[in-house]
């Protein structure tokens, strides 16, 4: 299996989730209003987030300044 590098933005989101009392993907999905499966795929680097999804996640986790690069 080929190992891929996770985008910096995804790493920042995962760290922020930990810093927010170990927030789960389910909790993040509820807070942002997007489905759990969609948020999971975005956070894990499977899907590139739309501006709406990225903005909602960044607002919820109070993060900014990390560009999404694959």
Please state the pTM of the whole predicted model: 0.89
Contact 8, 70 (CB under 8 A): no
Per-residue pLDDT, 70: 60
Give domain 8-61's CATH number out of 3.40.50, 3.30.1490, 1.10.287, 1.10.260. 1.10.260
Q: Residue for token digits 């680097």?
A: 45
What pLDDT, in 10s, does the model give residues 13-52?
999 999 999 999 999 999 999 999 999 999 999 999 999 9
């Amino acid at each position: 299996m080929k190992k891929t590098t996770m985008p910096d933005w995804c790493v920042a989101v995962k760290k922020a989730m930990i810093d927010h009392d170990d927030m789960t993907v389910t909790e993040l999905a509820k807070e942002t209003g997007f489905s759990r499966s969609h948020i999971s795929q975005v956070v894990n680097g499977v899907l590139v987030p739309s501006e709406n999804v990225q903005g909602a996640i960044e607002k919820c986790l109070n993060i900014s300044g990390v560009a999404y690069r694959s």
